[in-house]
Amino acid sequence: MRQPESPSNDDQAAARWLSLSGLPNITPTVLARLFRRLGSGEAIFSASPEQLRETGLDPAKVTSAKELCEAILHQIEDFSEDGIEAVPVESPRYSRGLLDLRTPPMVVFTSGEVRPEDTRAIAIVGTRAPSAKGLQMTRELARRAVAAGFCVVSGLARGIDTAAHQSALFAGGRTIAVLGNGLCNVYPPENDNLASRIRRKGALVSELWPEDPVSRRSLLARDRLQAAMSLAVLVVQANIGCGSLTTARHAISCRRPLFAIRWQEEPFMTGLARLRQIGAKVISKDDLDEVFRTADAAKTEGLF
């Protein structure tokens, strides 16, 4: 009889973090502090009560997490059979750019393949309600990014995000979609086919438990991952209240170069003014080579 395979190191590490995160009052801020102090979930689980108290963590919390860990590990293995992998912060597969966030996710889930070369990425984001010119511009920008050897990162949302992913794939490039819901479902649902294509030429990524639904809060949290996983962020069109403004703020806080396309029409002029205030450099499509040079300079300077 064939013996069951032992859990992978990544699965075990992910289970430790997820068991901790499921406990009351263990916030992302607490998890980030534990990681920076102790370096891994394994170190937390093996720490003495005195060491844990020094980090501000009640040892009883770790005892509770250990009791949850086995059940979570089985769930992770079940998701893996469906093509959803758990990637813990300790893994070499984890996007190191996420560590520039104040509260990086201790585990991300992926469906598809995130390759090492995907760190040479540009986020192309914008409103869910673009103009026809905005969509045309997005397609050209994504095509040129692929031609220059960049992976295109976006959020699979309607509008600009969808156009960026589609154009990257059409140009034969790679693209990563960062979702604001778990990977068992696709939101918006009309992008289900697009998501399947992305899995074959890139990956879907989420910090949420695979069965979690979409919410406004999770979408806003998703925006920070798009910025951190990219060398530069390019906002094509934005209006007030657009999630891309959140992505832009996180780009600045993560020290990612931020660019915005110039528009002379509303509501995008108002969004552009806000992007200027945040710190974006306003460009035209003719300045795209500057975006590429700046992104590569950021990589050379060790942002990743």
**129 in the same domain as 89:** no
**152 in the same domain as 86:** no
Reported as type and span, the H/E element at residue 297 is: helix 288-300
**120 in the same domain as 62:** no
Q: Which of 77, 114, 76 is nearest to 98 (CA)?
A: 114
Is 63 a domain residue?
Answer: yes
Choosing from 94, 129, 147, the residue where a domain stops is: 94
pLDDT at 265 (0 to 100)? 85
SS3 89: coil
Tokens of residue 179, six digits:
């979702």
Which CATH number is 280's domain given?
A: 3.40.50.450
Q: How confident is the prediction for the chain on average, in pLDDT?
A: 94
Tokens of residue 281, six digits:
């450099």
pLDDT at 2 (0 to 100)? 37
Q: At what angle do helices 132-147 and 160-170 cross, to 10 degrees?
A: 40
Q: Which of 242, 270, 216, 272 is nearest to 126 (CA)?
A: 242
What percent of the chain lies above the pLDDT cut of 70? Answer: 96
Is 238 a domain residue?
Answer: yes
**149 in the same domain as 90:** no
**120 in the same domain as 72:** no
**74 in the same domain as 40:** yes
> Using one digit for the tens of pLDDT, what is the confidence trace for 149-180?
999 999 999 999 999 999 999 999 999 999 99
How many Cα atoms within 13 Å fall on the side-chain side of residue 35?
24
Q: Are 56 and 49 in contact (CB under 8 A)?
A: no
| Total structural domains within the chain | 2
Is 82 a domain residue?
Answer: yes
pLDDT at 300 (0 to 100)? 65
Which CATH number is 57's domain given?
A: 1.10.150
User: Residue 22 belongs to what domain range?
Assistant: 9-94
**124 in the same domain as 30:** no
What one-character-per-residue DSSP string does 149-174 give?
TPEEEE---TTHHHHHHHHHHHTT--
Chain-centre distance for alpha carbon 215: 16
Is 222 a domain residue?
Answer: yes
Choosing from 64, 94, 124, the residue where a domain stops is: 94
**283 in the same domain as 225:** yes
**121 in the same domain as 89:** no
Is 111 a domain residue?
Answer: no
Is 14 a domain residue?
Answer: yes
Q: Which of 48, 44, 91, 89 is nearest to 65 (CA)?
A: 44
Place of tokens 């990014």: 145
Is 100 a domain residue?
Answer: no
**120 in the same domain as 84:** no
**218 in the same domain as 145:** yes
Q: Which of 236, 225, 285 is nearest to 258 (CA)?
A: 236
**Distance of alpha carbon 187 from alpha carbon 148, whole angstroms:** 29
The structure's pTM equals 0.94
Q: Which stretches of the chain score pLDDT less than 70?
A: 1-6, 300-304
Choosing from 63, 94, 125, the residue where a domain stops is: 94
**233 in the same domain as 144:** yes
